[in-house]
Chain A
Amino acid sequence: MIQLKNISKIYGKDGQQVKALDNANISIAKGEFVAIVGASGSGKSTMMNILGMLDRPTSGEYYLENKEISTLTDDELAKIRNKKIGFVFQKFHLLPKTTAIENVELPLIYSDRKDIRKLAVDALAKVGLSNRGKHRTNELSGGQQQRVAIARALVNEPEVILGDEPTGNLDSKSGLEVVGVFQELNRSGKTIILITHSGEVAEHANRIIRIHDGKITEDYKVEKPLDARTELAELKKAIN
């Protein structure tokens, strides 16, 4: 599905160069749930931007479904992002004073899909917010806002969902709920890539890739991933 070959990203001019990524090689198959873990400054944000095609590597090759994409134009990349990748950001990035349903529609505006409203309604239902469609985003809780953002990421039926610290701005219960949504999406066949600094969140994935100083230091399968559903159920029990 996704193949990064010898990807490097160098910032700054001659003399004061910073290698944000150093010869990174990653291969992600369809249907995987991968967590990319690293401390801040490790290069994981750069990895996220390159995986999401928001940025180009300084050197190396990026194959998406066996197609080299680092040579494409900005507009061509925009179309691929629109079709193939759903983004979920740490700060949600919802349009202010705009209803949930209108936010979910946003990627469809730039696609050639018809019946935009119906698709947006379906996507909101998938994240359990059917009754919140007409609410403005500032009237929703943090967890709800992030679920609207997930619905937005889902709405154009992308192959890959890319989460950039999606739980970073949430309390632990809302965070678990969001992770639960990701796990459910993965079970239904979506490829999930989660960028996080939290080892605990990463334990919900099937595979963990660790980045340190721009280099991949670890890449291993998780034998028994945590299940957000059971954790939530236990949390409820503990409260009652």
Chain B
Amino acid sequence: MNKIKIIESSFRILRRNKLNTFFMILGIVIGIAALSLTFSLGKSAEKQLTRKVKNLFNPNNILVTSGRVELESGRSSESSMTNLEIEDIEAIMNEVRGITMYDVIQATPERDVIFSNKNIPTAINGGMAEGEMVWRRSVISGEYFSKAEEKSSARVALIGTKIAKKLFEGSNPVGSQIRIGTVPFTVKGVLEERGIDPHGTDLDMNVIVPITTLMNRLMNVNYIAGAKFELEDASMTEEIAGKITSVLRERHSLNNNETNDFSIVTPVVVKEIIGKMNRVFTLFLPLISGIALLVGGVVIVVIMLMSVSRRVSEIGLRKALGARSQEIMFQFLIEAAVVSLFGGIIGLAIGLVGAGVFMSSMGLTFFIPWETILFGVLFPIIIGVLAGIIPARKAAKQDPIEALS
């Protein structure tokens, strides 16, 4: 058999039956467009998320929080435990080797941040002077608060770029007096821009004050919410997490049958959370789109079955002139494959353009995963051939006499 000639005649037939061809292509276009759109959006969101989480949490970080944290699809709902103290963290630093630095975590609920007649409610975070290194977030103007200011509960504050913009409207905030609630503070610096974190918190709305200032002057508490440790060696995280656990259990005098009254988050845990979220993006959404593609396949089956019935005489003629069953099948499979490949390419183009539009409007970086291209070409061919099998078999079984009479 001359495959090229058969393929040529398949193209000719598809051109001749424009309406049929159009609907067959349309089904695949919709399916592949949806698939490539959701998949590249998902992948892009996943990439963004991973990068942001990495900003917050390096492989060599361990997070200790007070209370038991329920980690459900990336959100933590903390029970309000009040028994984690700065002394606990200092004890960890004394007893556990391999930790290079740390910062403690505590925050108020929303407080009014006031400058002249302007007022922005936002949560106030407390941290140590080391926070600049631990969180890898420095200032773009002014400077970070010093160890001395931290020790002396100085009334100094670092503010995010959005707070600066809203309160000071372009003028330099460094050195200005603001109030947090009723307490006056001096703006020490403006924090680097960070955008929105995976929990949906706008980090540019942050206000950070020394931890002692927060605890003594704003909250009047003696406990902290948690601490972030940075380790010398990322491969030691599980071992060090174990040691931290035993230090804290001993200090909190927990019996063997009592559960921890604190939580330890290691990169392994974070990875699990990210993995869970990614499954939503890259599995669930494309699965739904896959159903659209399947419908496209069914459309091909139906239209091609109609086409086979209409072309009985052509099939009979081809058989009379010497076409074997497999050659008739080949022709119809090629038709189905050509149609869906064509639909796939158009769908891919539409999907990727759509993804680009979505990505730019959602502030995601434009990015096309290589899998999308592969799926966009491979899936349609597979679907097309599968959809073509039933009509092609029907055509191949055609009796030439009936077809010619």
Main secondary structure of the interface of B (DSSP, over half): helix
Is A173 engaged at the interface, CB distance under 8 Å to the other chain?
no
A-B contact pairs, 23 of them (CB 8 A): A54-B320, A74-B324, A75-B324, A79-B322, A81-B322, A87-B320, A93-B317, A93-B404, A95-B314, A95-B317, A98-B12, A102-B9, A105-B5, A106-B317, A106-B318, A108-B2, A109-B5, A110-B318, A110-B322, A110-B324, A112-B1, A116-B2, A116-B5
Q: How many residues of B contact A (CB 8 A)?
A: 23
- Chain B residues 301 to 330 lying within 8 A of chain A, measured CB to CB, are 313-314, 317-327
Is B400 engaged at the interface, CB distance under 8 Å to the other chain?
yes
- Chain B residues 273 to 323 lying within 8 A of chain A, measured CB to CB, are 313-314, 317-323
- Chain A residues 103 to 156 lying within 8 A of chain B, measured CB to CB, are 105-112, 116, 152, 156
Q: Which residue from chain A places its CB closest to the CB of B326 in the assembled complex?
A: A75
Binding site for B on A (CB under 8 A): 49, 52, 54-55, 74-75, 78-79, 81-83, 87, 89, 93, 95, 97-98, 102, 105-112, 116, 152, 156
Q: Do residues B16 and A97 form an inter-chain contact, with CB atoms below 8 A?
A: yes
- Complex: A231 Cα to B2 Cα, angstroms: 42
Question: Which residues on the A side are within 8 Å of B96 (C-beta)?
Answer: none
Question: Which residues on the B side are within 8 Å of A116 (C-beta)?
Answer: 2, 5
- Complex: A110 Cα to B12 Cα, angstroms: 17
Q: A93-B317, A95-B314, A102-B9 are in contact. Are A107 and B322 (CB under 8 A)?
A: yes
Q: Do residues B327 and A110 form an inter-chain contact, with CB atoms below 8 A?
A: yes
Is B401 engaged at the interface, CB distance under 8 Å to the other chain?
yes
Question: Which residues on the B side are within 8 Å of A95 (C-beta)?
Answer: 314, 317
With both chains docked as a complex, state the minimum distance between the C-beta of B394 and any C-beta of chain A, in angstroms: 15
Among B9, B16, B313, B319, point to the contact of A109 (Cβ < 8 A).
B9
Question: Which residues on the B side are within 8 Å of A49 (C-beta)?
Answer: 401
Q: 16 more A-B contacts (CB under 8 A) besides A81-B320, A93-B313?
A: A52-B320, A78-B322, A81-B322, A83-B322, A93-B404, A98-B12, A102-B9, A106-B321, A109-B1, A109-B6, A109-B323, A110-B2, A110-B321, A110-B323, A110-B327, A116-B5
With both chains docked as a complex, state the minimum distance between the C-beta of B333 and any C-beta of chain A, in angstroms: 16
